Amino acid sequence: MLRSTATTWGVVTRLFHWGMLLLFAGILSVGYYMTDLPLGPQKLKVYALHKSVGLTLLALAALRLLWRLGERRPLPAPMPAWQAWAASAAHVALYALMFLVPLTGWLFNSAAGFPLQWFHLFNLPALHASDPALKSIAKELHETGAMLLIVLGLAHGAAALKHHFLDRDGTLASMLPVVGGRR
């Protein structure tokens, strides 16, 4: 089932969800690892990979948002109003960060004066001319956004586990790759 129903998320939405989770987990891990590498060819290769995956995630975030805008969503499980509001706010923040983190990385790269290539296939334009002050701001926004994405992603996962084990309402099951639907 490609599209979502009233009780479960469709295959496309699940692929976006779990695929992007894996890519973000990988790129965030690489991001923290690469900063400690000594300057040399290996560091440049890791940075180039980090940037290419980041651009891929930016494109996937745009596709995911477009898909979500035209996709029906399963009916939410009954919950207190404050939990429904928190879940909605968290999803908005997660989507914002899926755009903010790669875009600030691109801006950081541009302000640093480095060329930007996507997997050595083509160059992307700079978002801004080389600018040390902007580079510093963009770097801080990129790193802070990444930290927020990690924290919010972990909170999102914890909430899904709470729904599954404490509430037993099928919220997590509706997004699992194989299983699906509410009980």
Q: Single out the residue of 133, 135, 146 nearest to residue 109, CA to CA.
A: 135
Q: How much is the pLDDT for 49?
A: 97
Considering its fold, how many domains does the chain have in total? 1
Q: What is the structure's pLDDT at 77? A: 93
Q: Can you give the residue range of the structural domain that contains 140?
A: 11-167
Tokens of 12: 């496309």
Could you tell me if residue 1 is inside a domain? no
Residue 177 lies in a domain: no
* 56 in any annotated domain: yes
For 170: left if phi > 0, alpha if psi spans -120 to 50, otherwise beta; the answer is left
Could you tell me if residue 107 is inside a domain? yes
pLDDT score recorded for residue 183: 39
For residue 176, tell me if it sits in a domain.
no
DSSP labels, 28-78? HHHHHHHTTSPSSHHHHHHHHHHHHHHHHHHHHHHHHHHHHHTS--PPPPP
55 domain-assigned: yes
Q: Please state whether the predicted TM-score (pTM) of the whole model is above 0.85.
A: yes
Q: Specify the CATH number for the domain of residue 113.
A: 1.20.950.20
* pLDDT tens for the chain, residues 1 to 183: 899 999 999 999 999 999 999 999 999 999 999 999 999 999 999 999 999 999 999 999 999 999 999 999 999 999 999 999 999 999 999 999 999 999 999 999 999 999 999 999 999 999 999 999 999 999 999 999 999 999 999 999 999 999 999 999 999 999 998 754 443
* Among 146, 98, 157, 21, residue whose Cα is nearest residue 13: 21
- Is 127 within the bounds of a domain? yes
Residue 175 lies in a domain: no
> For residue 144, what pLDDT is reported?
98
